[in-house]
Amino acid sequence: TRSTRPQRLLNAVRKHATRGDPQSVISAIDHFCRHSEWAMNIGDEKGSILDSVVSELNPEKVLELGTYCGYSTVRIARLLPPGARLITLEFNADYAAIARQVIAWAGLEDRVQLVEGASEDWIPRMKEHFGIETFDFVFLDHWKDRYLPDTKLMEDCGLLRKGTVLLADNVICPGVPDYLQYVRNSLSYKSCYFKSHLEYTKAEDGLEKSVFLG
């Protein structure tokens, strides 16, 4: 049987990246996606914006919605302070299996908890199951119709505190108009747009950073 794209992406990591070196894992995936096969990672250009938001925040409790092959997981986890924790949710078991190996290749498995399942099922269980009080940083990059309902769910579950930063990918392409309308108009958020391009292309896309004001 033919291999899948995530399997070929993992093979590129094994072939070109150094074990325990997250930057080499990121570079190997970006090279594969620019020169061999496009894939839905945040990519290098928007990835550097993600890096600066994470570095500035220095978050200890991080939630990522949508792991795919673990590219953004590796990007975020490599910048976290010691003792910090990143929980990443992925409902596709095949993608999760690849992501575990990518994260392990980068040597970051001790900081990352990859949870297999749907965001709408796991968000309400974060407190009881993982002992999370609130998140410092949430990266939204799963299916676009879930950004708004999952944000409201995180609010209702008390997972956001004054100062929690939400960073949403692909707010232009494919786009999340209902989410943007909400965070830009709600008095509970201070929101701003970072213009960039869709991963590995020249099409406009960007990230929306929204600080929860309580």
- The set of catalytic residues is 141, 144, 169-170, 199
Q: Which is nearer to ligand SAM, 98 or 180 (CB)?
A: 98
Backbone angles phi, psi at 197, to 5 degrees: -135, 150
Provide the 8-state DSSP code for 82.
Answer: T
Q: Are the CB atoms for 40 and 199 separated by under 8 Å?
A: yes
Sheet of 204-212: strand order equals 112-116, 85-90, 61-65, 135-140, 160-168, 204-212, 189-197
* Residue linked to tokens 């297999």: 116
Minimal distance in Å, beta carbon 19 to ligand SAM?
Answer: 20
Q: Is 179 in the site for ligand SAM (CB under 6 A)?
A: no
What minimum distance in Å lies between the beta carbon of 80 and ligand SAM? 16
CB 187 to ligand SAM: min, Å? 27
* By CB under 6 A, residue 208 contacts ligand SAM: no
Closest distance to Mg ion from the beta carbon of 158 (Å):
27
Query: Which two three-digit tokens encode residue 87?
Result: 């929980």
In the set 28, 41, 49, 164, which binds ligand SAM (CB under 6 A)? 41
> Which residue bears the tokens 């299996």?
97
What backbone phi and psi angles, to 5 degrees, belong to 209? -105, 125
Q: Give the residue carrying structure tokens 């944000």.
A: 151
Considering only residues 58-87, where is the footprint of ligand SAM by CB under 6 A? 66, 68, 71-72
146 contact, one of ligand SAM, Mg ion, none, CB 5-8 Å limit per kind? ligand SAM
Structure tokens at 92: 């596709």
The residues that touch ligand SAM, with contacts defined as CB under 6 A, are: 40-42, 66, 68, 71-72, 89-92, 95, 118-120, 141-143, 146
